Chain A
């Protein structure tokens, strides 16, 4: 058998925490239940132990299942953040079908320490052409990010990125179709989430090959997807160890610095 030369791959194969490097997970969901499933081990203590097992310093997180009232789902996430701000930062989910709620929902998020907006309109029974301007307008002076499960066409993402240059746009799932925007706009970042589902999302190496590696940030979709599904493909990707380290944590740390809200880390690396 081949012995991996990568320290990250070696640790991954042994089930050891990646505590030799900073690891940030920028795409996670917290909750007890969704229409699809019951969520095992969803309590704060279990989640912390789960993050520790992989050596994850900090997660950016939002609620799961936003087809109904988002406010109580957001509150679950804010409470987790309040009890453990060192490990979790929340984003605020909005329901695209109820724009009349957005400002009050975002205000609640702001009070609770939110770092931005989570958009998931493909699951919310609305057309593709939702106008998110009022929500993004709220975000523009707050050093917030906006992370979408799917931004729709590149033209639409470009429209938002150009008109809201102080909002940082995260492409929620592994893709290469927005590569020119990741390259062109300072405020557009690409997340690796679900890259292991290769028929639908882009493999790590494809993304590294076509966009600045500094703009690629790690996300897992836990507690929907297991964190192993996001770290493994990075650990084994045919890219440099330096690129792996940037994607797994260093790029997100830089992004948070640009937003003037550094992410707390478990140790000095």
Chain B
């Protein structure tokens, strides 16, 4: 096939925020109509969407995303691990699914609770694993974002729920040695691509662990949304691996989840 005739990749943003946040990129969507516009502008056909409020107030996220309505958009609900909350993780999940949530997120830096020691998160993970509903662990404290994931803890957590799709995100996963260790020891661990900024890492991670580990996102709210397509489509990997990263991997995860 002529290089010029390769069809463009189909992109899904698996972690698209709506709302204001410290140090946001100029184009980061502030409301839902902005989000749809940015998807058009940056060639994203569908998105899993959350409110930036999710990073510090899960309950508010869940109210806000209920107002987002488009066939191109899938809702992310956020979970609060606070032990004293009366609604059980099972009841929470039931309510999320009734409101057509497609993934559940939690922020372990909200602040400094541990995914492997939180009673409620462990219970939620059990419920999610039964249905293979993805858990998005978005690590963000307002004052830190680089290398904030404890990858060795992540190995233990993933191994406790080996068929649960666990997707991690942080502003920048710069330290790659612990990351390699985690990917080598937890098959169900996947990364949002926009945490990976390093040269040729898409090729390196795909060769060592399989392209199924990487899931595309534009990089909002913090990064210029015109950057990460190139990490995929210039990578020295096969066209089918590129398509998997751009949208195939997240499509498969969503199609394997049992939401009913």
Contacts and interface: CB of A to CB of B under 8 A. Distances in A.
A190 to B, nearest CB: 17
B177 A195 contact: no
Contact of A53 (B23, B42, B234): B234
B229 A203 contact: no
A40 B225 CA distance: 25
A32 B21 CA distance: 36
Q: Kindly name the residue among A50, A228, A237 whose own CB sees the greatest number of chain B CB atoms within 10 A.
A: A228
Interface string A35-59: 0111111000010011001100000
A76 interface: no
Nearest to A33: B177
B4 A16 contact: yes
Contacts of B224: 195-198, 203, 229, 232-233, 236
B199 A226 contact: yes
Contacts of A224: 197-199
A203 B225 CA distance: 11
B176 interface: yes
Nearest to A229: B227
Nearest to B39: A1
Interface residues of B, number: 43
Contacts of B176: 36-38
B201 interface: yes
Interface string B193-205: 0000111111110
A54 B234 contact: yes
Nearest to B174: A36
A206 to B, nearest CB: 8
A253 interface: no
B26 A226 contact: no
Contact of A225 (B25, B199, B242): B199
Nearest to A15: B233
A100 interface: no
Contacts, number: 129
Contacts of B201: 40, 226
A223 interface: yes
Interface string A54-71: 100000000000000000
Interface in A68-87: none
Contact of A228 (B6, B24, B26, B229): B229
Contacts of B24: 198-199
Nearest to B221: A199
A12 B204 CA distance: 21
B60 interface: no
Contact of B175 (A36, A50, A54, A199): A36
A2 B41 contact: yes
A46 B207 CA distance: 15
Contacts of B228: 228-229, 232
Contact of B199 (A13, A223, A233): A223
24 contacts: A1-B40, A12-B229, A13-B233, A15-B6, A16-B3, A16-B4, A38-B177, A40-B200, A40-B201, A41-B200, A49-B236, A50-B199, A53-B234, A196-B226, A199-B25, A199-B222, A224-B197, A226-B201, A228-B227, A228-B229, A232-B230, A233-B224, A233-B226, A233-B227
Given A197-B222, A228-B230, 4 more contacts: A199-B23, A203-B25, A227-B234, A228-B231
> 4 tightest CB-CB pairs across the interface, nearest first?
A228-B230, A199-B23, A15-B233, A236-B226
